Structure 1
Amino acid sequence: MGLMKTLSCAVLAALTVCGTQAANAGDFVNSTLWGIYSNNVMFGPHPAENGYLELEYFGQKGPVDLYGYFDAPKYFGGNRNIKGVWDKDSSKLFMEHEPKLSMNRLTGKDLSVGPFKDWFLAADWIVDAGTTTDSRQNTLYYGVGTSIDTHTKLGMNVNLYAKQQWENYGAANAYTSNDGGRLQVQFFYPLHTFENGASLNYFTFSNYDFGSKLGDKTEGGYRTNEAFVSTHVFSYNMKHLRLFTAARYFHNGGQWKDGATTSWGDMLTNNGWGYYVAAGYQF
């Protein structure tokens, strides 16, 4: 849960910025069913362990790139710092959808400028469908993006978003319009193709959240206006079988201030590394 853009987005990155334009790929939509284990994930006030089920989709329809997933949190178990589908008053569904509209494909023209090969209108909609106010989130990021030609096998995307915040687990910035923004940088590099057709890839994306009002609105100084998360994924892809392992670095993850003490007396741990391992089947 929360490991955005794993193997599927890496495939899209390869299509759009590694020298093969997605316009040549034609329309397609694929989906993968994942079993994922994560530990030391720091989006909440305490590090969470989570074994969960995920249905992920990705593809292209005309000028639109598609990516998203649906998670069943704590489906296989986890620690007490997260509640899931089998718990009372908890999250039953976590989902994220990230459509991108290609200006090159929409207009049918090459709008590249120097190394900037394509331009996008981009969105990122995150929903945690919890059963209580404290277990619900509804956040929309919206903005622009570009794919960058590095003249190597290294693919690169950059997105710049503004943020609209609705529900946010009962936090002080709930229902705040224009609650800051997010700078997102993505890299994809194909490491090796094996004789059996399988591929080994490296994919990384980093999110810097800035300009939020959450820290200013929260008494006690234990929330922040900024946060940084950087995720590093190694994936092994066969025709249907998908495997990945990932490390994710958090700095004030979830806009919780590392080392601060909350109003209910807990000391926060929100800096450091979290880990993921997963196996999936692509349909």
Structure 2
Amino acid sequence: MYRTLAALSISTALALSGASFAVDYSDDIRKNDYKWMTFNVMQSIDNKIPFGFQDDTYFEMEFGGRSGWLDVYGYLDVFDLFNSSNSDRNKPEGGGPEDFADNFFFKFAPRLSIDGMTGKDLSFGPVQELYISTVTNVGDQALFEHYIGIGSDIQVPWFGKMGLNTYARYVRENFGAENEGEWDGYMVSTNWFKPWYTLDSGHFVTYQGYLDYKFGASKISDGINRTTTAVEWFNGIYYHMPQWAFGYGLKYYHNMALFKDGGFAGDTTGFGHYLSVNYKF
């Protein structure tokens, strides 16, 4: 649901922007290793999460890194950080079970480098490296889904190094929907982190974000409220300091989480806004 790529260190930014050559594992599989972690306070405004969860202040722990042939990204969001009555995630007084919002959302996205595991340079054209890519999404109210497929790091003009992954989707839990226990749909995703202006102080400004396109989800028969395609497109401008980052993100949703806009899930298409303060470790 949420992902910001919000507060990478300068060394990680350089690792993500990358040089225009393939990763070399021939002499030392560990020489490309790095790691990072941030604590983020996020404010969502006019979000398009299904069932009206538009505005909330929440905490996010975000992490990533590389260890040999294992590339990892993930985050944990804990909602309604200040137990505020103004949050759409706040539990209503006297509400029934149907009124209780999720308390957290967890994404874990390890990728296994095929180049690293085989010791071979599999780069070609703009493709620097190939992966077996996975994603697991977990919510605390019966959401549990897995994605697995082929991933890559590619070189793109101006952007530099970007991730590009294609997955098949397996639905483990989906609030009791009929596609639970089924392979249902696919996702193509990309992400980027582009430092585009650096100050004399070493502080820098980035354009960073991601695009997820889901399609082919056809095993729920409710065509009035469900859809087979969905889009999430996050565009963030962040100001990075050595240990802090401050950002604004504009996110476009189309049928968020495969719920049709205007159906029983409410408003799931349109633009939302994010403000963030990030502390880097």
TM-score scaled by length of structure 2: 0.84
How many angstroms does 1:22 deviate by?
6.6
1:228 paired residue number:
231
Counterpart-to-counterpart distance in 1, 2:122 and 2:74: 27
Residues 1:242 and 2:245 are matched in the alignment: yes
1:6 paired residue number:
6
Counterpart-to-counterpart distance in 1, 2:113 and 2:106: 23
Counterpart-to-counterpart distance in 2, 1:154 and 1:31: 22
8 A Cα contact 1:41 1:275, kept in partner: yes
SS of corresponding position for 2:80: strand
Counterpart-to-counterpart distance in 2, 1:66 and 1:242: 21
How many angstroms does 1:62 deviate by?
0.9
Residues 1:270 and 2:268 are matched in the alignment: yes
Counterpart-to-counterpart distance in 1, 2:10 and 2:47: 22
How many angstroms does 1:60 deviate by?
1.0
* Residue identity in the other structure for 1:274: G
SS of corresponding position for 1:99: strand
Counterpart-to-counterpart distance in 2, 1:202 and 1:57: 19
Counterpart-to-counterpart distance in 1, 2:193 and 2:147: 22
SS of corresponding position for 1:105: helix
Residues 1:279 and 2:277 are matched in the alignment: yes
* Residue identity in the other structure for 2:246: L
* Residue identity in the other structure for 1:100: R
Deviation per CA, 1:71-112: give whole Å up to 9, x if none. Answer: 21111337564357x998443332111111122233333211
Identity of aligned residues (%): 26
CA 11–246 in structure 1, closer or farther in 2 if over 3 Å, else same: farther
1:170 paired residue number:
176
Gaps in structure 2 of 5+ consecutive residues: 25-29
How many angstroms does 1:18 deviate by?
3.0
Counterpart-to-counterpart distance in 1, 2:10 and 2:269: 26
How many angstroms does 1:253 deviate by?
1.1
8 A Cα contact 2:112 2:131, kept in partner: yes
How many angstroms does 1:201 deviate by?
0.8
Counterpart selection for 2:200 from 190, 195, 204? 195
Report the count of equivalent residues. 269
Deviation per CA, 1:152-176: give whole Å up to 9, x if none. Answer: 4533221100011111233343x23
8 A Cα contact 2:244 2:278, kept in partner: yes
1:19 paired residue number:
19
1:101 paired residue number:
112
1:132 paired residue number:
none
Deviation per CA, 1:92-144: give whole Å up to 9, x if none. Answer: 33211111112223333321112111101111111112xxxxx2311111111
Counterpart-to-counterpart distance in 2, 1:207 and 1:28: 25
TM-score scaled by length of structure 1: 0.84
How many angstroms does 1:238 deviate by?
1.4
Counterpart mapping for 1:105-120 below 5 A: 105-120=116-131
